[in-house]
Amino acid sequence: MHMELREHKSSFLVYVVLRILVILMMILQIFNRNYENVFLCVLTLCLLVVPSFVQINLKIELPTPLEITILIFIFAAEIMGEIQSYYIRFPFWDTALHTINGFLMAAIGFALVDILNRSKKISFQLSPVYLSLAAFCFSMTIGVVWEFFEFGMDMLFGLDMQKDTVVQCIHSVMLDPTNSNIPVGIEDIKDVAVNGECLGLGGYLDIGLIDTMKDLIVNFIGAAVFSIIGYFYVKNRGRGKVARGLIPRLKTKDADFLEQAEEEES
């Protein structure tokens, strides 16, 4: 742990600041008797420990830029997004986080395959194209599984994780009076009524489909961008500064870490 703190001073500072903010938020929510948000704060505190747990127990080195990004991402998603309602206040918030998630998951997927690819115990070597493709597929799979989770929570517990979208036009074969599988459109929708009562939304309420597809599209973009970066990283084997700061790798011996830290301080 001591060597981890010496090597990751910047990320540890970010961790301490975020942890203090989460604890203060949890105390505030306790006073407000909002115990659901208290649970989110406890969950956030647990998630903030995960990067350090991975590095210490699994002997996987998380570059400082990646670790800081993960910590801020957790705080932005749980505290700012859920408790402070940034998902509602700022429509771009969810989109930005899903884009970053696609990028981060591609980095993690790339590292998992690259570590195996460089292992002496593996008798075959994968090409840079295959590594990039595997990272991309890993990121997209995580994105799809998360959308499954959101859908399940909405269906089972009546939540609204798949946020609805107001649209002004719809096209559906359900509106075809001839039942000929021909989509019929309704344009310029001003309002919609439920049980005879107008909702005053200014359009038709889409129930999560647009939000889900938008999340997957931006996840695709984030995953594709990192896969391209990872391809050139492997092609030139470690010369890319951006990729080196974002791709996890196996730790070397603790003595090497200590020696490096002492050289940086001297």
Task: Specify the pLDDT at position 3.
Answer: 56
Q: 187 and 122 in one domain?
A: no
Q: 141 and 49 in one domain?
A: yes
Range of the domain at 180: 165-206
Q: 131 and 84 in one domain?
A: yes
Q: 249 and 154 in one domain?
A: yes
Q: Of 206, 224, 239, which one is at a domain's C-terminal end?
A: 206
pLDDT in tens, 99-157: 999 999 999 999 888 887 776 666 567 788 999 999 999 999 999 999 999 999 999 99
Overall average pLDDT of the 155-177 stretch: 92
Q: 78 and 22 in one domain?
A: yes
Q: 125 and 18 in one domain?
A: yes
Q: 171 and 108 in one domain?
A: no
For 63, phi then psi, to 5°, come to -55, 145
For residue 85, the SS3 value is coil
Q: 137 and 84 in one domain?
A: yes
Q: 193 and 110 in one domain?
A: no
pTM: 0.85
Q: 185 and 126 in one domain?
A: no
Checking if the pLDDT of 5 tops 60, the result is no
Interhelix angle 209-235/128-157, rounded to 10 degrees, is 160
Q: 220 and 105 in one domain?
A: yes
Burial 18-57, CB ≥16 within 10 A → b, else e: bbeebeebbeebeeeeeeebbebbeebbebbeebbebbee
For residue 164, the SS3 value is coil
Q: In this prediction, what percent of the chain has a pLDDT beyond 70?
A: 88
Checking if the pLDDT of 235 tops 80, the result is yes
| Count of structural domains, the chain | 2
Task: Specify the pLDDT at position 213.
Answer: 96
Q: 169 and 149 in one domain?
A: no
pLDDT in tens, 39-78: 999 999 999 999 988 888 888 888 999 999 999 999 999 9
Q: What is the DSSP letter of 33?
A: T
The answer to whether the beta carbons of residues 226 and 131 sit under 8 Å apart is: no
State how beta strands 204-206 and 197-198 pair: unpaired
Checking if the pLDDT of 188 tops 80, the result is yes
